[in-house]
Amino acid sequence: MNNLVTDPRAARVIKRPLTIKVTFAKADGTCQTLEGPVNYLTGDAMLTGIANENWPVVRAMFDKRYEAAEGTTFGCDGNYVKKPLEALALRLEMPLDVTLPAGGVLHGETGDWLLQYGPADYGIVRDDIFRSTYDFL
């Protein structure tokens, strides 16, 4: 996998503080995201974004990166906002597949964005969703 930390083409970005809907998985399964199937475990967070797209987040990672919006008790289904977290982003010049540690493969097309949130922590975001949800630093 391309380490964006050392890639001079990578841009620093931050997710906008948008409210998203979250439910917590009642059983293990696989979520069909826009970028491909992603496995999840009971208790993982199931997020719904601005384009009604869905994706799972491992519970421990969710607990570190999200906070409950007003009217939601943390750890319960409801509305959440991602905490400010800088990431690196690179617009794809060709299709790319990213294998996830928890299981599943994300597929990005030319023009989509590869994001790196930390060591071995990658995601792919469709261009229109990226431009609506991230700001360049």
The per-residue pLDDT for range 6-29, each reduced to its tens digit, is 999 999 999 999 999 999 999 999
Residue 99 in this model has a pLDDT that exceeds 80: yes
Where do the DSSP E strands lie in 49-120? 54-57, 66-68, 78-82, 86-91, 96-99, 105-108, 113-118
Residue 2 has pLDDT above 80, yes or no: no
Query: Would you state the pLDDT for residue 102?
Result: 79
pTM passes above 0.85: yes
Kindly state the tokens that stand for 68: 């409950």
Stretch (H or E) spanning 63: helix 59-65
Residue 103: pLDDT band with limits 50, 70, 90:
confident
